[in-house]
Amino acid sequence: MIKKIAILTSGGDSPGMNSAIEAIVNAAIKKKLEPYLVYEGYLGLVNGDFKKVEKKDVKFIGNKGGTIIYSARFPDFKKIEVRKKAISEMNKKGIDALVVIGGDGSYMGAAKLTEMGIKTIGLPGTIDNDISSTDFTIGFHTSLNTIVEVIDKIRDTAESHKRVKIIEVMGRYCGDLAINAAIATGAEILSTSERKLSEDEIIKQTKKLREEGNRSIIIIVSEHLYNVSELSKKIELKTGIETRSTIIGHSQRGGIPIAEDRILAKRMGIFAVDSLIAGETGVAVNLIDNKLSTKNILEIIKMKRLPRKELFNQYDLIK
């Protein structure tokens, strides 16, 4: 029977992490558990940077972006002696279980602790939506909203000046942000790691679109595919069309979480507490067809993201 539960956020921050923290703390207290916050992710776990909290300490944090308990990259957590130090710090506080909110790298840390006897559960907190076991990750919808808002504004100026605009969005090697943004904004050209266009293909499509009378042309690309500054120069040189590039960058991570992410985070946080009380460990919470479930973390890490064929087909019909 667990009595004390700790919460940490790890990896890149995502909107909705604070909503998850709030829900976990409140649910834990309702279930007669003592909640603790861990500051600075796994680094804080090793340093014993814990704080016992009450409901008043997390009141209204759900409408804040980022993570109030901070995050840190900490590759040394891969070392067993470092993890032993973390477990020692947890034992000093009598902490029985740990909730980890983050992406696949954060999940790996939780899996390693599970192997060493710590009860753990993961929540998918990443804007990229690149965790294959869940339909949506915490932060994805807010990030997508940010991207759409930026592209809509860029469209205004591109239309005014008869320009081509290349927009680079985040997502690492997952194109979910790009494809959904392209559908939402009516972007004329899309390139992701799942369906990458060559630079020549982009130039060819750009020429054709201008010949068809398109005044503004929006090109959405996922990060890590091109040097968008150089690509814009090539497009302008080969087509004669004024071309500019924009890397939206870390503004996609920040901002007030929208309703979808707050609700998803709170549902998942409550489910995580219930799952730990029921004896589950070494698992992560997922949302599939609007139903919550858990799955082994190591299995999740090995899963491949299914291709978004339906989304790409829909985009092709409306672009």
Check if the beta carbon of residue 191 is closer than 8 Å to that of residue 225: yes
The amino acid at residue 317 is L
**Catalytic-residue membership of 49:** no
In sequence order, the β-bridge partners of residue 38 are 50
Looking up tokens 């979910």, which residue turns up? 176
The runs of H, that is alpha helices, within the chain are 17-30, 41-47, 80-93, 104-115, 140-161, 176-185, 199-211, 228-239, 259-277, 297-302, 309-318
- Of 13, 96, 104, 128, the active-site residue reads 128
Long-range contacts, stretch 225-231, CB < 8 angstroms, 24+ apart: 225/191, 225/192, 225/193, 225/196, 226/168, 226/191, 226/199, 228/166, 228/168, 231/166, 231/199, 231/202
Please give the positions annotated as active site.
128
